[in-house]
């Protein structure tokens, strides 16, 4: 299968992966033939793109890092916890089981993977960005925690902190959070309060550990001391906070937002690399680089020579040198360029991702 941006979807295409709507319901199933009406539905849900099946990519496999059900369950849990936080004055309260029960299956899945690699473009409905975002931040943070050899207890604390890292936004005005334009200084100061509001809620209303609560509060602290709320530097920032800082930014970059389109993993990873040892802990950045494929299978890239290729597969020990298929619409198959295995291809470079 291959990834196609929404603007390039056409009637008659076959959907390659299930899509879930803003109520977390399966609304388009893998294999369905797209009609103009279904394409309109995809646009209304705010998807940046979807996977499709065609003759040129039918042997390309796309394996998500966790099952769709685990991802959706985590997003639903955050939504439920947020609603309870907003209604906290009425006695509604989330419990430890509300979030532990969705973190444990994710940890089990990640631990059981022979190859811990994020190789798919995440497809989240725009209307539920914040909840799907929290779920993916938890998934990526847990994967990094496993790479860093954290204990089971640490992974659960990290997962809890990541899943609820933005719970404090439940106490902020919605119009400010979703505004596409630039915020005033006063409005941005208000937004920054979400980390302390979240910490207070986790400490006073949830049975979250102090370490997890602090980790969630510190996800906007920068490695060089320029972040908030306390301007902490380097190892004075909780390891959970340093991890969530990276995964929060990464997933935000690869997601469609009110003020910009989604970036491709290549672009997001490069931006984070540029901020390593400044905004981000370099050890955490290296861990992210080892689990995120900059060129997911099924995406389209352009070489320095100008040639257009489709990514066929990645190599975990050399993620920037994937196996490519030289794209030719007139042929069902083309030349295979293996940038990792074929040493005669060492001078070939991918320069950008293409929307096809």
Residue 332 has pLDDT above 60, yes or no: no
The fold for domain 2-53 equals Molybdopterin biosynthesis moea protein, domain 2 (3.90.105)
Residue 6 has pLDDT above 90, yes or no: yes
Residue 71 has pLDDT above 60, yes or no: yes
Structure confidence at residue 299 (pLDDT): 96
Structure confidence at residue 172 (pLDDT): 84
Structure confidence at residue 329 (pLDDT): 57
Structure confidence at residue 86 (pLDDT): 77
Residue 340 has pLDDT above 90, yes or no: yes
Per-residue confidence band for 84, with pLDDT thresholds at 50, 70 and 90: confident
Residue 181 has pLDDT above 90, yes or no: no
Structure confidence at residue 243 (pLDDT): 98
Contact between residue 9 and residue 41 where contact means Cβ atoms under 8 Å apart: no
Structure confidence at residue 330 (pLDDT): 53
Please state the domain extents for the chain: 2-53, 68-291, 300-354
Structure confidence at residue 225 (pLDDT): 97
Structure confidence at residue 356 (pLDDT): 83
Closest to 196 measured CA to CA, from 178, 221, 177 = 221
Q: What is the pLDDT of residues 199-218, one digit of tens each?
A: 998 988 887 889 999 999 99
Structure confidence at residue 90 (pLDDT): 46
Give 334's DSSP letter: -
Contact between residue 267 and residue 250 where contact means Cβ atoms under 8 Å apart: no
2-53 and 68-291 share one fold: no
Q: What is the pLDDT of residues 217-249, one digit of tens each?
A: 999 999 999 999 999 999 999 999 999 999 999
Q: What percent of the chain has pLDDT over 90?
A: 73
Q: What is the pLDDT of residues 147-172, one digit of tens each?
A: 999 999 999 999 999 999 999 998 88
Using CA atoms, how far apart are residues 52 and 319, in angstroms rounded to an integer?
23
CATH class of the domain comprising 68-291:
mainly alpha
Q: What is the pLDDT of residues 307-331, one digit of tens each?
A: 999 999 999 999 999 999 987 655 5
* From 8-17, 21-30, 197-206, the region with the lowest mean pLDDT: 197-206
Give 332's DSSP letter: S
Using CA atoms, how far apart are residues 163 and 137, in angstroms rounded to an integer?
7
Structure confidence at residue 343 (pLDDT): 87
Contact between residue 169 and residue 153 where contact means Cβ atoms under 8 Å apart: no
Structure confidence at residue 96 (pLDDT): 64
């Amino acid at each position: 299968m291959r990834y196609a941006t929404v603007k390039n979807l056409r009637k008659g295409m076959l959907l390659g992966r299930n899509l879930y709507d803003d109520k977390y319901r399966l609304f388009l199933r893998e294999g369905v033939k797209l009609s103009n009406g279904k394409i309109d539905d995809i646009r209304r849900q705010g998807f940046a793109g979807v996977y499709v099946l065609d003759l040129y990519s039918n042997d390309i496999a796309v394996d998500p890092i966790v099952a769709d059900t685990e991802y959706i369950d985590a997003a639903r849990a955050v939504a439920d916890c947020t609603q309870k936080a907003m209604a906290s004055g009425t006695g509604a309260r989330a419990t430890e089981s509300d979030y532990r029960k969705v973190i444990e299956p994710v940890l089990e899945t990640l631990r059981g993977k022979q190859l811990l690699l994020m190789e798919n473009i995440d497809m989240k409905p725009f209307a539920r960005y914040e909840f799907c975002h929290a779920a993916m931040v938890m998934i990526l943070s847990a994967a990094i925690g496993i790479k860093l050899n954290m204990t089971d207890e640490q992974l659960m604390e990290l997962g809890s902190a990541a899943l609820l890292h933005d719970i404090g936004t439940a106490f902020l005005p919605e119009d400010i959070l979703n505004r596409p334009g630039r915020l005033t200084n006063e409005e941005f100061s208000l937004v920054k309060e979400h980390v302390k509001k979240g910490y207070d809620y986790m400490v006073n209303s949830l049975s979250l550990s102090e370490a997890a609560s602090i980790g969630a509060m510190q996800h906007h602290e920068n490695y060089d001391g320029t972040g908030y709320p306390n301007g902490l530097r380097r190892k004075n920032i909780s390891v959970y906070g340093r991890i969530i800082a990276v995964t929060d930014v990464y997933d935000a970059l690869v997601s469609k937002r009110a003020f910009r389109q989604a970036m491709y993993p290549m672009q997001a990873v490069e931006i984070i690399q540029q901020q390593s040892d400044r905004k981000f802990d370099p050890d955490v950045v290296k861990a992210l680089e080892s689990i995120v494929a900059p060129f997911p299978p099924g995406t389209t890239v352009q070489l320095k020579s100008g040639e257009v290729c489709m990514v066929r597969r990645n190599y975990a020990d050399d993620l920037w040198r994937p196996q490519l298929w030289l794209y030719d619409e007139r042929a069902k198959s083309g030349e295979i360029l293996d940038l990792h295995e074929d040493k005669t291809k060492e001078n070939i470079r991918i320069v950008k991702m293409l929307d096809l």
